[in-house]
Chain A
Amino acid sequence: MKKSQILSSACLMVALAAPAFAQDPVTVAFAGAKLTDPFMVALTGMITEQAKSQNANLLAPTNANGDAAQQFNDIQTLLTKSPGAMIIAPVDGEAIVPAIKAANEAGVPVIVVDAAPTGGDIAMVIRADNYGMGVSACNEMGKRLGGKGTVLDLQGALTSTNARDRTNGFGECMAQKFPDIEVLQRPTDWDMAKATDALQIVVSTGELDGVYIASDYFLPGVAKVLQDANRWVPVGTEGHVTLIGIDGNPDALKAIRDGFQDATVSQPVDLYAQYSIHYSLTSAAKTDVAEGETDHGSIISRNEFGSLSDALPAPLVTKDNVDDPNLWGNH
């Protein structure tokens, strides 16, 4: 009798516990790269929202402050909490590999956003094609300038893969397709003051027909310099400097709407957030994801490092589609 009582109460406990266990949300960790980057801030915010709407339990996101060594420490700390899956926005695509291997050893599936690590076992790499963004900006710039003139490329930090891809995509496309456009390149280290100084010196000392802005984050400084030079005038007006940006943040969308900026290549931050949580849940549940076309306008394939990669589309935004509610800058 005593035995059966124990048995039945054990059965009851299992019966009660089982459905509760099934409803427990999957714990997801997010190791961020840098919290002072508006893109990362937006990504972190949207991942938090997506975790709520897709019923995942997101641990407090970590901030590596742009330091690859700090990010490794962050990830080791997060792994001690045994999350069901981990989202990483790497500071550096190569330095992150040991951290990914540590997650592999701990049996935690890894989703990588916005960079392609060179090794480790990764459930899904989610990124937009930064080289393609540069090419897209180059085509728009070349078209608007009629294939001639002088363009300043305000580069990001040349130590970042994405910044290099953006400047290479733009520069190589320019050299091939628009050889009569002279491209001046100035590095900024993603620093607003450096970008502003470089633009001021170039615009006040020589000819300038266009600026390719590696991140729309620089827009307030760019606008200020062009205002001082009396060249912050609407598209199509005498003296207008053709402005093509990348990121598609709210400032840029406003400038496009107001007619001062020509175009920007919008980062699909909303899709980054949505699919990093989505793939976290599928990989935690050990569901396989097939290669090939997806239902959200992208293609999943193996990248050059052997990881599955979902290359999300990065739309070119001009006055024609600036009010599209799907752009993250309109959120």
Chain B
Amino acid sequence: MTTIVTTGRERGVTDFRDMVLLPVIAIVFVLASLFVPYFFSANNIINNILGNSAVLGILVIAQAIILIGGYFDLSMQSVVALAPMIAAWLISPIGSGLGLALGDVGAILIVFAVGGIIGTANGFFVAILKLNPFIVTLAQLILLQGFVLGISSGMTISNLPSSMTFLGDHRLLGAKLYVWLLIGAFVFAAWFMGKTATGRHIYALGGNAAAARANGINTSRLTFGLYIFGGLMAALAGLVLSSRIASVTATQGNNIIFTVFAAAVIGGISLDGGKGSILGAASGVILLAMVQNILVLSNIPSFWIDATYGAIILGALLFGSRELRTILRLPSVKG
């Protein structure tokens, strides 16, 4: 009896958590539209809020899917710098660059090749060698960040080939290409995780790997695939970032992994695996991006911006806490 009730609740919580941020987003949106000058305009919402969350959003999609599968990939933030850096370094004729004539297509291929190779290495360590994913990807984070520093000597490389800035140079219906890319990626990921067999297998893997294996799912291959996907998406995020700043810096992506986890977790993705949805993760990204936008638009003293940002993240977590609602005897939010 108890077991059945618990199971029912767990399922309910999953749905409820997908939606829990929507009222928060609605409240923040209405308040900001009323009180923050310039907030409520199509340009601000599309090109600033969505545009500034493109890099974060792409990383969150990948991290959310890996988390649902029951794993971590901390090394993503280093790939954000390393993948475009290697391409720029091979091609750039100035500074420490080698000046190879690899062409526009070559640059893009290198970016994704680097992401794919690192993802493959991570997959091998975790799926085949069964090393602890947290420690392995943490080591990779440090190693790859060191590579970035080593090959760039700490310098910024600008004058990128036009293919590397393409996503940030062009607009479609008034929005930058990377905004469309972000929206497309979320729609595709939501469909993939919700409707395909592989998506269901990833939930099963994160929920109970032994049971998934017993049900005939090739868990090693799936884990391998998750990490390769993570590496490729991190390379894509690095490409988008470089197209936004028209350069590759040695520190790009530094510390973004914390924001990635924050967005995924307040969006209802469980760190224990098997739970959460892409829609929830998207709502986490939108909330953080909206708050960042409001903090820049309003004249909060510079020294207090970080504290305000942290307080809002914590507030959103508390708002979603079922236990806190029970303690305060508040009505729960209907999903």
Contact B299 A184 (CB under 8 A): yes
Contact A191 B302 (CB under 8 A): no
Closest to A195 in B: B245
List 10 A–B pairs whose Cβ atoms lie within 8 Å, in order of A's numbering. Answer: A35-B153, A36-B251, A196-B245, A197-B296, A200-B47, A201-B52, A205-B41, A220-B156, A221-B245, A224-B244
- Whether A186 contacts B252 in the complex (CB less than 8 A), given A200-B48, A200-B51, comes out as no
Closest to A218 in B: B245
Closest to A65 in B: B149
The 8 A CB mask of A193-224 against B (1 = contact, 0 = none) is 10011101110111000000000010011011
Across the interface, which residues of B come within 8 angstroms of A224, CB to CB? Answer: 168, 244-246
Is A155 an interface position by the 8 A CB rule? yes
Across the interface, which residues of B come within 8 angstroms of A200, CB to CB? Answer: 47-48, 51-52
Across the interface, which residues of A come within 8 angstroms of B156, CB to CB? Answer: 38, 192, 217, 220
Closest CB of chain B to A61's CB: distance in Å? Answer: 12
Q: Tally chain A residues at the interface, Cβ within 8 Å.
A: 32
Which listed residue, B52, B154, B252, B297, touches A35 by the CB 8 Å rule? B154
Is B241 an interface position by the 8 A CB rule? yes
Across the interface, which residues of A come within 8 angstroms of B52, CB to CB? Answer: 197, 200-201
Contact B296 A220 (CB under 8 A): no
Is B293 an interface position by the 8 A CB rule? yes
Given contacts A167-B302, A197-B292, 13 further A-B contacts (CB under 8 A): A36-B251, A38-B154, A38-B155, A40-B154, A191-B251, A192-B252, A193-B252, A196-B245, A197-B48, A205-B38, A220-B246, A224-B245, A251-B158
CA distance A200 to B46 in the complex (A): 12
Which residues of B207-235 have CB atoms within 8 Å of chain A's CB atoms?
Answer: none
Is A293 an interface position by the 8 A CB rule? no
Closest CB of chain B to A224's CB: distance in Å? Answer: 4
CA distance A190 to B250 in the complex (A): 12
Which listed residue, B37, B47, B153, B158, touches A204 by the CB 8 Å rule? B47
Nearest 10 CB-CB pairs, A to B? A205-B38, A220-B247, A224-B246, A221-B245, A41-B154, A187-B302, A220-B158, A36-B250, A35-B154, A36-B154
Across the interface, which residues of B come within 8 angstroms of A205, CB to CB? Answer: 37-38, 41, 43-44, 48, 297
Is A160 an interface position by the 8 A CB rule? no
CA distance A204 to B155 in the complex (A): 29
Across the interface, which residues of A come within 8 angstroms of B153, CB to CB? Answer: 35, 41
Contact A185 B302 (CB under 8 A): yes
CA distance A223 to B165 in the complex (A): 13
Q: Tally chain B residues at the interface, Cβ within 8 Å.
A: 35
Is B303 an interface position by the 8 A CB rule? yes
Is A37 an interface position by the 8 A CB rule? yes
Across the interface, which residues of A come within 8 angstroms of B48, CB to CB? Answer: 197, 200-201, 204-205
Is B167 an interface position by the 8 A CB rule? no
Closest to A39 in B: B154
Is A14 an interface position by the 8 A CB rule? no
Contact A191 B254 (CB under 8 A): yes
The 8 A CB mask of B308-335 against A (1 = contact, 0 = none) is 0000000000000000000000000000
Secondary structure at the B interface, as helix, strand, loop or mixed, is helix
Closest CB of chain A to B242's CB: distance in Å? Answer: 10
Across the interface, which residues of A come within 8 angstroms of B101, CB to CB? Answer: none
Closest to B243 in A: A224
Binding site for A on B (CB under 8 A): 37-38, 41, 43-44, 47-48, 51-52, 55, 149, 153-156, 158, 168, 241, 244-247, 249-252, 254, 292-293, 296-297, 299, 302-303, 305
Across the interface, which residues of B come within 8 angstroms of A41, CB to CB? Answer: 153-155
Contact A201 B44 (CB under 8 A): yes
CA distance A223 to B159 in the complex (A): 12
CA distance A146 to B115 in the complex (A): 50
Across the interface, which residues of B come within 8 angstroms of A196, CB to CB? Answer: 244-245
Which residues of A222-249 have CB atoms within 8 Å of chain B's CB atoms?
Answer: 223-224
Residue in B251, B252, B303 whose Cβ sees the most chain A Cβ within 10 Å = B251
Closest CB of chain B to A151's CB: distance in Å? Answer: 14
Residue in B44, B158, B241, B247 whose Cβ sees the most chain A Cβ within 10 Å = B247
CA distance A217 to B155 in the complex (A): 10
Which listed residue, A191, A193, A201, touches B296 by the CB 8 Å rule? A201
Is A158 an interface position by the 8 A CB rule? yes
Closest to A34 in B: B154
Closest to A205 in B: B38
CA distance A220 to B165 in the complex (A): 12
The 8 A CB mask of A132-173 against B (1 = contact, 0 = none) is 000000000000000000000001001000000001000000
Contact A193 B245 (CB under 8 A): yes
CA distance A305 to B251 in the complex (A): 34
CA distance A163 to B153 in the complex (A): 23
Closest to A186 in B: B296
Contact B154 A37 (CB under 8 A): yes
Closest CB of chain B to A17's CB: distance in Å? Answer: 40
Which residues of A11-55 have CB atoms within 8 Å of chain B's CB atoms?
Answer: 35-38, 40-41
Across the interface, which residues of A come within 8 angstroms of B293, CB to CB? Answer: 201
Closest CB of chain B to A4's CB: distance in Å? Answer: 59
Across the interface, which residues of B come within 8 angstroms of A167, CB to CB? Answer: 302
Contact B244 A193 (CB under 8 A): yes
Closest to A198 in B: B296
Across the interface, which residues of B come within 8 angstroms of A197, CB to CB? Answer: 48, 52, 292, 296
Closest to A63 in B: B149
Contact A192 B245 (CB under 8 A): yes
Closest CB of chain A to B84's CB: distance in Å? Answer: 13
CA distance A41 to B254 in the complex (A): 18
Across the interface, which residues of A come within 8 angstroms of B245, CB to CB? Answer: 192-193, 196, 220-221, 224
Closest to B80 in A: A193
Across the interface, which residues of A come within 8 angstroms of B246, CB to CB? Answer: 220-221, 223-224
Contact A192 B37 (CB under 8 A): no
Closest CB of chain A to B78's CB: distance in Å? Answer: 13
Closest CB of chain B to A246's CB: distance in Å? Answer: 16
